[in-house]
Structure 1
Amino acid sequence: MMKNLEEKTIATTQIFSGRIVSLQVDKVELPDGKTSTREIVKHPGAVAIIAITPENKIVLVEQYRKPMERTLVEIPAGKLEKGEDPLITAVRELEEETGYECEKMEYLTGFYTSPGFADELIHVYLATGLNKKENAASLDEDEFVEILEVTREEMEQLMKEQKIYDAKTVYALQYLQLEAAAQSK
């Protein structure tokens, strides 16, 4: 039988509040009655889009990631605005980052990126029926990306080369591999 594993919050101290994340330290009561602290990064959540062109290519973006001090190749993604429906965010981010609009945006799943210290939840969508938009929305003023359109095999090679090195894009590749395997049966 499963024990009660809940940790009850006794007190919260706000350490930092920024444009994207905030940091707090919670004092908690553990299931055995003892107390401890938890450092928690609060994030509004995000979307990630597996975008497939009519030519069956996957749309990726390459951008510099300061925490890693390098560029990474990733599926298009972006932060939820306060109170925004993730579907609206996905449609907006696809257009802003890639210049594409889509006929169909299908919700696949969601996952927590680092539940040991952060509450960020990424909602993953599949975008099909892509069309390049004439007057596409532009990137944020501090955002610079290169757009790539690759085959699944090329995406696998980018992962082997550690150019694709983040969880949401690895998830996308695994999803595409499973879909291909299911279709070949």
Structure 2
Amino acid sequence: MMKDADLIETELSSEEVFSGRLLRVHRDRVRLPDGHEATREWVAHPGAVVIVALLDNGKLLFERQFRYPLRRIFLELPAGKIDTAEHPLDTARRELREETGYKARSWHHLGTMHPCIGYSDERIEIFLAHGLSYVGHERDHGEHLEVTELNLGDALLAVRDGEITDAKTITALLWADKTFSGEWPLPGQPG
């Protein structure tokens, strides 16, 4: 097995080539483990959350939302960007309320995913919310979506059938399936 030092690239210089409201694009020069130099382009992202919101009827909350880069409507779990200096759990609470109109009595952090490791530092924190009560949504200006419900089994079939292709949703559904079956205990509970 290789040592970590045989894999690590070292930053020699970094240039921000674009800065927008959400993303910043960098072009870095790096030294490869073999001593050669290369260019790495990558996107800085503030991070996000995704929420597995379990209703009392056993179904999960989903959203149908148009996503401009792919010019189509996606079925996905509630999610949103972490604001500067905001704790991820606060983001999850805010996004669940804003987008779906629900608040949750109980929250569990399930894990972290990195959806685009080849070109972004984005991380997505996965939360489970239950004990939901409807209090009314507070969507951001220009945010248009439809809230719907699916049971976990139907959602997993939608993944299999290519109806759900969003990576954060697929990952969170896998985590929910393992957690709900008892195969993966909730963090902080005995396994």
TM range (shorter): over 0.9
1:141 matched residue in structure 2: 141
Cα deviations by residue, 1:31-54 (Å, 9 ceiling, x for unpaired) = 121110000100000000000001
2:187 matched residue in structure 1: none
Aligned residues: 181
Q: TM-score, normalised by structure 1?
A: 0.92
- Name the SS for the 1:114 alignment partner: coil
Cα deviations by residue, 1:1-31 (Å, 9 ceiling, x for unpaired) = 5140221111111111011111010001111
Q: Determine which of 61, 64, 74 is the counterpart of 2:63.
A: 61
2:186 matched residue in structure 1: none
Distance 1:32 1:158 in 2: 44
Contact 2:100 2:137 (8 Å CA) reproduced: no
Distance 2:31 2:93 in 1: 41
* Distance apart, 1:171 and its partner CA: 1.4
Distance 1:31 1:57 in 2: 49
- Answer with 109-118 or 173-182: which moved more: 173-182
Contact 2:62 2:76 (8 Å CA) reproduced: yes
Q: Which runs of 5+ in 1 are unaligned?
A: none
Question: Which runs of structure 1 show a deviation greater than 6 angstroms over 4 or more consecutive aligned residues?
Answer: none
Distance 1:3 1:42 in 2: 24
* Distance apart, 1:61 and its partner CA: 0.5
- Name the SS for the 2:22 alignment partner: coil
1:112 matched residue in structure 2: 114
* Amino acid paired to 1:16: F
Aligned in 2, Cα 1:3/1:177: closer, same or farther, shift over 3 Å?
Answer: closer
2:100 matched residue in structure 1: 98
Distance 1:80 1:13 in 2: 24
* Amino acid paired to 2:3: M
- Answer with 94-103 or 158-167: which moved more: 158-167
- Answer with 148-157 or 82-91: which moved more: 148-157
Aligned in 2, Cα 1:179/1:18: closer, same or farther, shift over 3 Å?
Answer: same
Cα deviations by residue, 1:102-147 (Å, 9 ceiling, x for unpaired) = 00111010011111110000000000100001xx451111211100
Q: Determine which of 33, 37, 52 is the counterpart of 2:39.
A: 37
Q: Which runs of 5+ in 2 are unaligned?
A: 184-191
Is it true that 1:178 corresponds to 2:172 in the alignment? no
User: How high is the sequence identity, in percent, across the aligned residues?
Assistant: 37
Distance 2:105 2:68 in 1: 34
Contact 2:102 2:137 (8 Å CA) reproduced: no
- Name the SS for the 1:91 alignment partner: helix
Cα deviations by residue, 1:42-91 (Å, 9 ceiling, x for unpaired) = 00000000000011110001100111111100000000101110010000
2:77 matched residue in structure 1: 75
* Amino acid paired to 1:57: K
* Distance apart, 1:153 and its partner CA: 2.4
* Distance apart, 1:163 and its partner CA: 2.5
